[in-house]
Structure 1
Amino acid sequence: MAKEGRGIVATILKNLVNSLRPRQMFGNEMGKDHLGNTYFEIPADPRAGKRRAERWFAPKEKEDFEQQVPAEWEAWLRGRRSEAPKEEEVLRNLALMQVKKENARKIAEREAASRDSSSLGTEVKGKESFPARKEYEIMPGKPQNK
């Protein structure tokens, strides 16, 4: 019975000492993106009971609630990647995205031009709209009259 009491007192004292230890309150700056956002992280500390790192970003404009975040940084913020992306990787993917947007714009212009230039004849509805083929019979055993 006495051993249980010491265990509780020891646990309380251990928790008190751990609570008085200094801990990291501000994050380490992990990088910046081309939009001006700054990214921070406080690493995980299993001794203190933190299994996951805390990650966040400070936007360039504080009041902008529809702030864009590059896909690489968003994956890092959500914990889908362990290492913060390098600036070269983000810039390479941004250049690729701009090339794809330009190609999509050119294709859309080409399709719009082809739609305008192609003249479709008047639309014929009914039996006349179907093609007439000489090799097919309308009724079995009787050739087509046309």
Structure 2
Amino acid sequence: MSRPGLFRQTVNSILRSFKIANRKEILIGSDEFGNKYFEKPTSGDAQFKRVRRVETFDKDQWSVPKVPTEWMAWLQNKRESAPSDEEILKNQIELAKRLKRSENLQTMRGESIHPDSLTMTENQGGFPHREEYEINPGSSRTEKT
């Protein structure tokens, strides 16, 4: 028995790619922003990556959708299964706890998080001044600006 030739293998590969492209998408889930997440099933071939996508609530193709971190990891194939509502809720609660703890620590220590309150003192230095280099390109060393 002979194996198929290079031409036949190429034709078969092209036909398989069309079959996968024409498969129906499966609705996997949705999030609190109204986004819907879809996945095209694969045939088990290792050469084809899972195709996952999000359909945004506002249908505006130019706006960047708000996508929770868990769903973003699923879209990028960094996780196998889609996140559950309980998992997302648990992560949101943990985030709220962390923010509250950091806020309490800042008030305890009397720290301010406003960038306007951060000033540079003289002893911190700054950009170094070197006599051998020009401050303005093209000006001579004798000219001081």
Same fold at TM > 0.5: yes
Identity %: 25
Q: Which residue of 2 aligns with 1:87?
A: 85
| Shift of residue 83, structure 1, vs aligned partner | 1.1
Q: Which residue of 1 aligns with 2:25?
A: 27
Q: List runs of 5+ in structure 1 lacking aligned partners.
A: 115-146
Is 1:99 equivalent to 2:103 in the alignment? no
Please list, as runs of the form range in 1=range in 2, the aligned pairs for 1:125-140 lying within 5 A after superposition. Answer: none
CA distance in 2, matches of 1:65, 1:23: 26
TM-score by length of 2: 0.56
Residue of structure 2 aligned with 1:56, choices 53, 57, 68 = 53
Letter paired with 2:101: N
Which protein is bigger by CA-based radius of gyration? Answer: 1
Q: Give the direction of change, closer, same or farther, for the CA distance of 1:46–1:56 in structure 2 (3 Å limit).
A: same
| Shift of residue 43, structure 1, vs aligned partner | 1.8
| Shift of residue 53, structure 1, vs aligned partner | 0.9
CA distance in 1, matches of 2:15, 2:70: 40
The answer to which structure has the higher helix fraction is 1
Letter paired with 1:94: Q
TM-score by length of 1: 0.55
Letter paired with 2:81: E
Residue of structure 1 aligned with 2:42, choices 21, 38, 44 = 44
CA distance in 1, matches of 2:26, 2:63: 23
How many aligned residue pairs are there?
A: 110
Check conservation: 1:33, 1:90, Cα contact below 8 A: no
Letter paired with 1:61: D
Q: CA RMSD in A?
A: 3.7
| Shift of residue 94, structure 1, vs aligned partner | 1.1
Check conservation: 2:23, 2:41, Cα contact below 8 A: no
Q: Which residue of 1 aligns with 2:116?
A: none
Check conservation: 1:41, 1:53, Cα contact below 8 A: yes
Q: Which residue of 2 aligns with 1:143?
A: none
CA distance in 2, matches of 1:92, 1:19: 39
Letter paired with 2:71: W
